[in-house]
Structure 1
């Protein structure tokens, strides 16, 4: 059965980074970073546009959502990292840096934010303070590409253009371990349980034990790879890179399962949804695409009709595009959802001028027309 992705348009320049929230009472959400300077928030399972965060004055390179989808973060070429209320769209903090901010990530409890920048520094901010850096780690000899909290948030892991990955002890501020690569590392992702670190560099995707930083396996991909994501169940992983293709691999055997095209430019970022039912990709072509983990399964906007007569019937899938209305943006506490071909209850923001937080245990239903 053919893989038919959902295409999410709306950005006007390359989409360079993606991040999913955790599962919430209202489903899960997806945020995208784009060189157009306007991070977008979407429903994670359908791609339906929720809103656009307005405020940056340069390309946005990194984004993050906290587990509960109540906070969003973005790092940009205007030398700031911004924290947003993801329910109202209001800017909460603007964290000043001295150079382009390439990466942002929340701690699990949403109390801290780690950033990495072209200053070659990794910083940790206390979001309960006035926006000053609580910790700063120097040592990289190149721009920091990705940084994450790890080891129950006692450490920070970062990778940079100096062809290295470094582990920092937050209690001492010292570098604990360094891993050297033969090319620039591009992607860094921690598995949902925090036990496995996925790293991409050159045409390789490698997996490390997070406790020991010993390499578990390294798999060669047929292209220079920019990003990879391990399924929550750890049985498969997906990756994408310069040849416009998406690749799916068996994590245990290292064998390629399938590859397919959909984007019209290099793939910059890929990520599995928190339930593992789909994965998202962002590309140089300015679009996001959502792909089914199990092709043909009824999920979100994909509807599968099972054949009752194999001689006369076929199994079909349908897909839809999720497109925002350009002038409807998040900002000032007012959000108007874009028109959609789906009926959605329990949205993350109100359609009135007084945003309302989703009520607990609310039911969410999506029905494609």
Structure 2
């Protein structure tokens, strides 16, 4: 976790409250920080095999250090996403449960008929009297056949993208709670990111996916529309796109080089 986005006065407080232990995933949006840490039914912050883990996700206010919400899951969480807006009150999570969940941070503890998710502290997660359990529901029960590794929120807040270990990219319409598009990739997904230019207002970006020995570039507005696919001689771990310079950069699973390519011609420009 990079800590320079968090006010210096709050770093020690957050570190003491949220970052104990060895394995954590941190996600930040505006003044909210999501911290996921594995626990077990027997001992808080214990280091054991993943099969015994219960993933506890906490939402913190980075200005005050206050824990606002505790989000319970029955397995390790691998991905979380806030919508791109000021003061988001919802977030999406996914992971080894193979479930896409939407949490409403503005509502008290509860559950929906689709998929109740609240659990008691007796299941292994420590409680915090100052935080609340957010209401949640599941999107598309039973659709994912592998661990959800990435979640992306489109500028249209009704559309979410998931990338899973079943080698499928899925676009979800939150209004229907069903996939509105799906694309199968040829290899294991290394990364799935929305690359946009922060200095360009309302830039929708490009959805880039690294999977196997190929890079996939998808339309940031129309769900499921493939703009181009580029094949490589090596396994990709990650990819990033800069439309302003018409460049993209890849990372490999086999070495530590970052290779730069022309977005239009696919010519390698350097590494």
Normalising by the residue count of structure 2, what TM-score does the alignment of the two structures yield? Answer: 0.71
Which deviations, in whole Å up to 9, do the C-alpha atoms of 1:134-161 show, x marking residues without a partner?
A: 4433211011000111151111110111
Which deviations, in whole Å up to 9, do the C-alpha atoms of 1:245-270 show, x marking residues without a partner?
A: 112222122111111xxxxxxxxxxx
State the match for 2:264 in structure 1: 252
Shift of 1:190: 1.3
The question of whether the paired residues in 2 share the 8 Å contact of 1:58 and 1:77 is answered with no
Pairing 1:86–2:96 present: no
Q: Please give the residue correspondences for 1:1-369 in structure 2 after superposition, counting only pairs within 5 Å.
A: 32=1, 40-43=2-5, 53=15, 54-55=17-18, 59-61=23-25, 63-66=26-29, 69-78=30-39, 79-109=55-85, 110-130=88-108, 131-138=134-141, 139-192=143-196, 193-210=203-220, 211-231=222-242, 233=244, 235-242=246-253, 243-259=255-271
Shift of 1:201: 0.5
**Structure 1 gaps, min length 5:** 1-31, 33-39, 260-369
Shift of 1:186: 2.2
| Structure with a larger share of its residues in helix | 2
In 1, the alpha carbon distance for the partners of 2:35 and 2:219 equals: 28
The question of whether the paired residues in 1 share the 8 Å contact of 2:84 and 2:155 is answered with no
Count of residues in correspondence between the two structures = 214
Q: Which moved more, 1:184-193 or 1:152-161?
A: 184-193
Tell me the secondary structure at the aligned position of residue 95 of structure 1: strand
Runs of 4+ in 1 over 4 A off after TM superposition: 49-52
Shift of 1:208: 0.8
In 2, the alpha carbon distance for the partners of 1:149 and 1:199 equals: 14
Which deviations, in whole Å up to 9, do the C-alpha atoms of 1:215-239 show, x marking residues without a partner?
A: 2122234532222121262621222
Shift of 1:96: 0.4
In 1, the alpha carbon distance for the partners of 2:247 and 2:178 equals: 34
In 2, the alpha carbon distance for the partners of 1:208 and 1:248 equals: 19
Query: Which structure has the larger Rg?
Result: 1
The question of whether the paired residues in 1 share the 8 Å contact of 2:218 and 2:228 is answered with yes
In 1, the alpha carbon distance for the partners of 2:245 and 2:106 equals: 35
In 2, the alpha carbon distance for the partners of 1:76 and 1:161 equals: 21
State the superposition RMSD in angstroms.
Answer: 2.4
**Structure 2 gaps, min length 5:** 40-54, 109-133, 197-202
Tell me the secondary structure at the aligned position of residue 82 of structure 1: strand
Normalising by the residue count of structure 1, what TM-score does the alignment of the two structures yield? Answer: 0.53
Shift of 1:64: 2.3
Q: Which has the higher contact order (CA 8 A, sep 6+)?
A: 1
Distance change (3 Å), C-alpha of 1:234 and 1:88: farther
Which deviations, in whole Å up to 9, do the C-alpha atoms of 1:146-181 show, x marking residues without a partner?
A: 011115111111011111111111001011111111
